[in-house]
A and B are shown apart, each in its own frame.
Chain A
Amino acid sequence: MPTFPLLDVQRLESVGAVTASSHGTLCTAHASANTKATSYTELIASTAFAAQSILITFENASASTIDFLFDIAVGASSSEQIIIANLQVSIPNGVSVAASFWFPIHIASGSRISARCQCTTGAATVRVSALLFGGGFASPERHSIVDTYGAATADSGGTSVDPGGSSNTKGSYSQLTAATTRPHKGLLLAIGNQINGVRTGCAWLLDIAIGASLSEQVIIPNLSLNADTTKDMVFPQAFSFIPITIPAGTRLAARAQCSITDATDRLLDVVAYGVG
């Protein structure tokens, strides 16, 4: 009996890997905190084929607990066009690989891909690498645009979600956007650590909802997260592409419940990336 795979990847290309050091490409934030770097760091000069998706991985390079926002761009030097804006990455002290994000978006053959970032600490560094996936005959529908909802450039984080003072009870909704920019075929989520380097062990269940305030409808229920006192970090940092149709003009909000009520350690940041 024939099989009909939903994903049919024929080619992969490594982007930004530095084989001499077994790391990704070092990317340095602006010298001023919470300010985007003025220049982009090139990850690859020219991609070999038309990619259907990209897996981006961030790796710790600074010895402290910090938050980053990344822009991933294509285009010639000084003419970069951002394709993924304000990708939120929290770097926990002492943990190597921080996060991976898979975006099912088309990147044309011959593209130059680069990245720039801002950080809660000026001139902090992080390593970036990626994999490009080329589609085969049965590749899924390709997407072209990513819209970012809930990033907070003022603190290189996301929208704060507070589960409130009652444990294991869903808290108030925090608005990620009043209206989505365009129709989306799915969402990715980044979870930020709020540069909390001393966390209490706990667990969260996170909801993503649509609809007007007080009329929210949960569309992604009970995403499981946790933190412990060793890594001092909310994990996972990323929920890769969640296929769900969201119309343009939709209000997005997030809420969570938490197993603890500590006024600081119960908090987390959320950023949503709509793929369309």
Chain B
Amino acid sequence: MAWYVAYDTATGRLESESDTEIAARTGKTVLQLADRPNINANGVMWDESTRTFIARPLKVLIDRLEDIQTNPNFADFMTAYNTLSAANKTRLRNMVIRLLGSRRWRNQNEPVELD
């Protein structure tokens, strides 16, 4: 199903969309697309500079397990951790994974420490 989007010709800023043709207006540019763009997280997003839809960047998540091993604030923990046997490291790691649950992953701008 054809889909229409309109953006400000001067700035490239996307302003609206419709399944029916958008009436031409001074200062606005209307594009006809083959289908409605999927602007979900796994879809596309409007790029004002190229005036096109581009792939939305994938969400980058940081593993707090990695934080424990690399963040200098946890150096004491790592000192103790490194004294463990491989089997005990695995046991402890599995326990930490269970303990963190859904909070195992954080955004790049989110603190390492749980709030």
Contact = CB atoms under 8 A, between A and B. Distances in A.
A172 B56 contact: no
Interface in A167-185: 171-175, 178
A86 interface: no
Contacts of A155: 40
Interface residues of A, number: 36
Nearest to B60: A264
Nearest to B22: A213
Contact of B102 (A164, A197, A212, A265): A197
A148 interface: no
B17 A174 contact: yes
A178 B109 CA distance: 38
B48 A264 contact: no
A214 B109 contact: no
Contacts of A213: 4, 6, 16-18, 20, 22
Contacts of B110: 198, 200, 229
A232 interface: yes
Given A160-B39, A214-B15, A263-B45, A198 B20 contact: no
25 contacts: A64-B102, A93-B102, A160-B40, A164-B14, A165-B45, A173-B15, A175-B17, A178-B18, A194-B40, A194-B41, A198-B59, A198-B107, A199-B107, A200-B107, A212-B22, A213-B6, A213-B17, A213-B18, A214-B22, A214-B28, A229-B110, A230-B115, A263-B45, A264-B41, A267-B40
